[in-house]
Amino acid sequence: MTTHSTGLLLGLLLCAAAAPCAEPGNPAQFRAGAAASNITPPLGKDIIGGFHPFPSKQIHDQLWARCLVLDDGRTRIGLVVCDILGLAQPLCAEARRLAEEQSGMPQANLLISATHTHSASSALGTNRFAAKPDLDEYQRFVAGRIADSVRCAIANLAPAQVGWTTAQEPRHVFNRRWFMKPGSIPPGPLGTQDQVKMNPPRRSPDLVKPAGPTDPEICVLAVRSPEGRPIALMANYSLHYVGGVGAGDISADYYGMFCDRIQQLLGADRLDPPFVAVLSNGTSGNINNIDFTKPSEKLPPYARMREVANDVAQDVHSAYGTIQWHDSAPLAAAIAEPDIAFRHPTPEDIGRAKAILARRDPASKKPAPLEEIYADRTLKVAESPDRAPIRLQALRVGDLAIGTIPCEVFVETGLELKRKSPFKPTFVVSLAQGYFGYLPTPEHHRLGGYETWLGTNRLEIEAEPKIATALLGLFARLKDDVR
């Protein structure tokens, strides 16, 4: 692994400043604490996730920054998952800065990620393609609330046992990219011809086969008191949002419903301090909840979401009984910032985009067509820097490892990292420490499709293997941390 491909390794943190080192022969008590901070935006702010944002009208369920802090007496790590579509890199940097300033949490030890609910307002700023955007009011609010969740979780630190396990839930994951019969895929909004289609028509006679696999595994990290009282649980599942919300509703999607249901199943309601459940987004960039070989169903709002959440929670609850609990487990964290190039439009692309935008009617109240949306994105992407460091992170909790990538990661990448990681289990948290669009593999770039369009995808075509290699390098360093 070359220095160029992995960038600057910012260090394997073996004894964090936030926690005093235990004396040799006198192991410190393993501790855990959890907390959640409300990040629900005010009504009237635009709900994003589709091509045409619209103002929120109702709060179906609150949005949270959910935090778990672990401390082995030598190292302290924090895991924060936010009910939001994505978090801009400067927002995450500010949240890490505040957490370290206010509570001593080492910045390199703090995981911050988004679930990718499509029923929330934007924490990506007004122009997510800008090189160094300023934080807006809501982004500053979210950064502060993330830091608050860390601070409160640290205040709740108490003696704990830790364990991990896995479960399987294949019924709700489907690859959403499909090979279609020749001539059935229309040209994309950038004028290109794709070989696969995202979200094709259901039960179409033109369907051939999915363009990739799925990952049905649910990874689980849990902590409880020495007496058996649940403290927190973090799960990871490679499924995009489910959707099916009420019109204009703010909702945490199935991620929030899972947290509520697993709390009920564990009998962890109304504890003091409160039990905190967390569901992070795995590698779901090309995975959703739609079986395209079957007809669509007319369901009331939230029905499918609740079905998925309940099934995943039931799977996790069943697996919870198999956990082997440990009175201690080594913790470690490492980060790398590989230097990754950004894609840029060609002069021809820019000329085409300008011509498309010159034809639009500024007085029209009709939603902009995809061609105009991507013409606008083409001009914004043209202003991106040539290269930038992309923050990756690896965390170790005993025999379990967690990797993070600031993109919507394809399932093939997650499966490869799980297969090659020296830790079992290993899982990857997408949309962590920033948001840089989709991360297709080079093979998927050649197939085209929505996730590869410039403006949906931003990073160089070879970004995925560079990022995977760097993350495996971090796992190897954590494995060598023998105490």
Residue 483's pLDDT band (cuts 50, 70, 90): low
Instruction: Kindly tell me if the per-residue pLDDT of 11 is higher than 90.
Output: no
Share of the chain above pLDDT 90, in %: 89
Residue 351's pLDDT band (cuts 50, 70, 90): very high
- Residue-wise pLDDT for 149-192, tens only, equals 999 999 999 999 999 999 999 999 999 999 999 999 999 999 99
Residue 5's pLDDT band (cuts 50, 70, 90): very low
- Residue-wise pLDDT for 65-83, tens only, equals 999 999 999 999 999 999 9
Residue 126's pLDDT band (cuts 50, 70, 90): confident
Q: Please, what's the b/e burial string for 250-272 (b: 16 or more CB within 10 A of its CB; e: otherwise)?
A: bbbbbbbbbbbbbbeebebeeee
Structure tokens at 12: 């394997």
Q: What is the pLDDT of residue 482?
A: 55
Average pLDDT value for the chain: 93
Instruction: Kindly tell me if the per-residue pLDDT of 133 is higher than 80.
Output: no
In angstroms, the CA 251 to CA 388 distance is 33
Instruction: Kindly tell me if the per-residue pLDDT of 23 is higher than 50.
Output: no
Q: What is the mean pLDDT of residues 354-367?
A: 91
Q: What is the pLDDT of residue 27?
A: 58
In angstroms, the CA 401 to CA 396 distance is 5
- Residue-wise pLDDT for 72-120, tens only, equals 999 999 999 999 999 999 999 999 999 999 999 999 999 999 999 999 9
Cβ–Cβ under 8 Å, residues 394 and 475: yes
Looking at per-residue pLDDT, the higher value among 313 and 483 belongs to 313
Closest by CA position to 72, among listed 327, 405, 416: 327
